[in-house]
């Protein structure tokens, strides 16, 4: 009985974590430029990883000595300390590489397109730097 | 406060949790490794309030759960933006002044902003923060002010 409840909680947490990971990945494709995509990537390593690890924590607390749970919390702590620094480095690199952040007004002035994903990235970059192609860019 | 013993204790606790072997050989390796690490850090002279912020530990106990809740709320907001049939984003870069007094406080605030999806700190000069927001209203609202205040509280009385 107790095992069933724990299993249900674990499943809910793992599925919720998976949901945020998939949503973040969808965002990586749908959002218009590198800066907005960073926000989607942030979802993957905050809630996606967080809920998944929480699920594993609950599982190991029920099924083991709890030692694994402590280690998983450490994994999450290190992840949450380091991932904003990586995100910041990407943002800084994009800015100093001369990427113009996508804005609604810029997109409208550029090609008359709206803030839809897909076609919008080209409107966001009036003068794309050479090295900037390929940063999560599907086109 | 002498921080070296504290650092040694924290490192050794980490060693124990990660290894979980209590044979004399492994304990000996742990003692030697932690001692070398502490020795190097003290000789470099980088062991201070900033690198080992023990004074924040007990206030962090209330800040961290609050931050996790904020992260959850903004995750849901960004997920709704991404999953809506037509993506409505209004990204912009905003400048504002942060009220933290120490570099450590600014570092915590900047990282907290970046950790909450929807806002990323792209630069700090002095107390001027440059933040990219996926939806402009996100940053104009009171949310950032609350976080700003809470980090200033966490930081406490600067030396």
Predicted complex: ipTM over 0.90 = no
Looking at the structure, tell me whether residues B149 and B105 fall in a common domain.
yes
Helices (H), B45-121: 57-83, 103-115
What total number of domains does chain A contain? 1
What total number of domains does chain B contain? 2
Contacts of A120 (CB under 8 A, 6+ apart): A32, A33, A102, A107, A113, A114
Asked if residue A98 is part of any domain, the answer here is yes
B-facing residues of A in 72-91 (CB < 8 A) are 74, 80-81, 83-85, 87-88, 91
Looking at the structure, tell me whether residues B84 and B10 fall in a common domain.
no
Q: What is the percent of chain B where pLDDT is above 70?
A: 94
pLDDT at B142: 67
At B15, the pLDDT band (50, 70, 90 cuts) reads: very high
Asked if residue B78 is part of any domain, the answer here is yes
Residues facing residue A110 across a β-bridge: none
pLDDT at B41: 92
Alpha-carbon span B98 to B89, nearest angstrom = 25
Looking at the structure, tell me whether residues B107 and B139 fall in a common domain.
yes
How far does the CA of residue B135 sit from the closest CA of chain A (Å)?
A: 9
Element (H, E) at B17: helix B4-19
Looking at the structure, tell me whether residues B110 and B136 fall in a common domain.
yes
Q: Which one of B89, B90, B120 has the shortest CB-CB distance to A91? A: B120
Residue B118: list chain A partners with CB under 8 A. Answer: 39, 42
Neighbour count for residue B32 (Cβ, 10 Å):
10
Alpha-carbon span B2 to B78, nearest angstrom = 44
Looking at the structure, tell me whether residues B33 and B88 fall in a common domain.
no
User: Is the pLDDT reported for residue B26 higher than 90?
Assistant: yes
In chain A the first and final C-alpha atoms are separated, in Å, by 52
Alpha-carbon span A21 to A110, nearest angstrom = 32
Interface test with B, best of A18, A33, A42 (most B CBs within 10 A): A42
Question: Residue B38 belongs to what domain range?
Answer: 4-44
Looking at the structure, tell me whether residues B36 and B94 fall in a common domain.
no
pLDDT tens digits, one per residue of B57-90: 888 888 999 999 989 998 998 999 899 888 888 8
How far does the CA of residue B44 sit from the closest CA of chain A (Å)?
A: 23
Looking at the structure, tell me whether residues B72 and B148 fall in a common domain.
yes
Asked if residue B49 is part of any domain, the answer here is no
Specify the higher pLDDT residue, A118 or B109.
B109
Looking at the structure, tell me whether residues B37 and B91 fall in a common domain.
no
- The mean pLDDT of chain B is 86
What value does the mean pLDDT take over residues B111-128? Answer: 88
Looking at the structure, tell me whether residues B38 and B75 fall in a common domain.
no
Asked if residue A93 is part of any domain, the answer here is yes
Looking at the structure, tell me whether residues B62 and B15 fall in a common domain.
no
Q: What is the percent of chain B where pLDDT is above 90?
A: 30
Alpha-carbon span B61 to B54, nearest angstrom = 12
pLDDT at B154: 84
Contacts of B131 (CB under 8 A, 6+ apart): B93, B94, B95, B96, B113, B119, B120, B121, B122, B139, B144
Answer whether A32 sits within 8 Å of B89, measured CB to CB.
yes
Asked if residue B103 is part of any domain, the answer here is yes
Rounded to 5°, angle at Cα B41 from B35 and B46: 155
Residue B18: list chain A partners with CB under 8 A. Answer: 71, 74
Looking at the structure, tell me whether residues B17 and B59 fall in a common domain.
no
Asked if residue A103 is part of any domain, the answer here is yes
Alpha-carbon span A48 to A18, nearest angstrom = 6
Alpha-carbon span A57 to A63, nearest angstrom = 10
Q: Is A116 helix (H, G, I), strand (E, B) or coil?
A: coil
Asked if residue A83 is part of any domain, the answer here is yes
Q: Are B8 and B35 in contact (CB under 8 A)?
A: yes
Looking at the structure, tell me whether residues B103 and B37 fall in a common domain.
no
pLDDT at A120: 44
**Ramachandran class of B86: left when φ > 0, alpha when ψ lies in -120 to 50, beta otherwise:** beta
Answer whether A115 sits within 8 Å of B71, measured CB to CB.
no
Output the CA torsion B128→B132→B136→B138 (10° steps).
-80
Q: Does A52 touch chain B (CB under 8 A)?
A: no
Asked if residue B137 is part of any domain, the answer here is yes
Question: Which range, of A108-112, B5-9, B91-95, averages the lowest pLDDT?
Answer: A108-112
Asked if residue A131 is part of any domain, the answer here is no
Asked if residue A127 is part of any domain, the answer here is no
Asked if residue B142 is part of any domain, the answer here is yes
pLDDT at B157: 58
Alpha-carbon span A117 to A130, nearest angstrom = 22
Alpha-carbon span B103 to B42, nearest angstrom = 21
Q: Does A2 touch chain B (CB under 8 A)?
A: no
Q: Which residues of chain A have pLDDT under 70?
A: 110-139
Alpha-carbon span B106 to B136, nearest angstrom = 22
pLDDT at B91: 87
Asked if residue A34 is part of any domain, the answer here is yes
Specify the higher pLDDT residue, B134 or B29.
B29
pLDDT at A129: 44
Alpha-carbon span B159 to B157, nearest angstrom = 6
pLDDT at A123: 43
Question: Residue A60 belongs to what domain range?
Answer: 2-120
Q: Does A101 touch chain B (CB under 8 A)?
A: yes
pLDDT at A118: 44
User: Is the pLDDT reported for residue B139 higher than 80?
Assistant: no
The alpha-carbon radius of gyration of chain B (Å, integer) is 20
Asked if residue B50 is part of any domain, the answer here is no
């Amino acid at each position: 009985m107790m095992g069933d409840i724990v299993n249900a909680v674990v499943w809910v947490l793992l599925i919720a974590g998976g949901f945020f990971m998939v949503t973040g990945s969808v965002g990586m494709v749908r959002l218009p430029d590198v800066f907005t995509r960073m926000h989607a990537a942030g979802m993957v390593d905050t809630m996606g990883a967080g809920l998944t690890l929480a699920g594993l924590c609950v599982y190991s607390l029920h099924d083991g000595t709890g030692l694994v749970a402590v280690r998983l919390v450490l994994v999450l702590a290190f992840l949450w300390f380091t991932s904003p620094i990586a995100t910041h480095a990407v943002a800084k690199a994009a800015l100093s590489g001369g990427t113009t952040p996508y804005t609604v007004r810029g997109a409208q002035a550029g090609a008359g397109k709206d803030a839809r994903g897909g076609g919008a990235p080209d409107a966001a970059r009036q003068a794309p730097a050479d090295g900037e192609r390929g940063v999560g860019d599907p086109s | 406060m002498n921080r070296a013993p504290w650092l040694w204790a924290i490192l050794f606790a980490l060693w124990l949790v990660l290894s979980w072997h209590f044979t004399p050989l492994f304990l000996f390796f742990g003692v030697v490794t932690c001692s070398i690490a502490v020795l190097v850090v003290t000789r470099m002279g980088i062991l201070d309030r900033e690198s080992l912020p023990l004074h924040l530990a007990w206030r962090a106990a209330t800040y961290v759960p609050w931050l996790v809740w904020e992260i959850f709320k903004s995750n849901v907001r960004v997920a709704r933006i991404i999953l809506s049939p037509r993506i409505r984003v209004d990204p912009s870069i905003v400048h504002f002044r942060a009220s933290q007094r120490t570099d450590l406080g600014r570092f915590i605030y900047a990282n907290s902003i970046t950790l909450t999806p929807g806002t990323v700190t792209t630069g700090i000069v002095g107390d001027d923060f440059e933040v990219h927001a996926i939806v402009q209203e996100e940053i104009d609202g009171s949310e950032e002010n609350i976080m700003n205040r809470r980090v200033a509280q966490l930081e406490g009385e600067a030396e």
